[in-house]
Amino acid sequence: MKKEIHPKYYKNANITCSCGNSFEVGSTAEKIEVEVCSACHPFYTGSEKIIDTAGRVEKFKARMAKAKKFAK
């Protein structure tokens, strides 16, 4: 390998998740913050989180029903 062209490698880089979980991995960044990790991801936990807080599905269904009503 050529010298002085590669970034510094941290063998114990600290990864912090928004859920509070933290662990160490090898990386070129010393600290990494992530939003989802294996401790809180629905695939690994088996629980499904519904993120539709704005009611977008209901708003869409209401618009479709209104459009069908005026189409007749």
59 is in an annotated binding site: no
**End-to-end alpha carbon distance in the chain:** 72
Is 11 labelled as part of a ligand binding site?
Answer: no
35 labelled as ligand-binding?
Answer: no
56: annotated binding-site residue?
no
Is 37:14 a contact under the CB 8 Å cutoff?
A: no
Which residues line the annotated binding site?
Answer: 17, 19, 37, 40
Which residues line the annotated binding site for Zn(2+)?
Answer: 17, 19, 37, 40
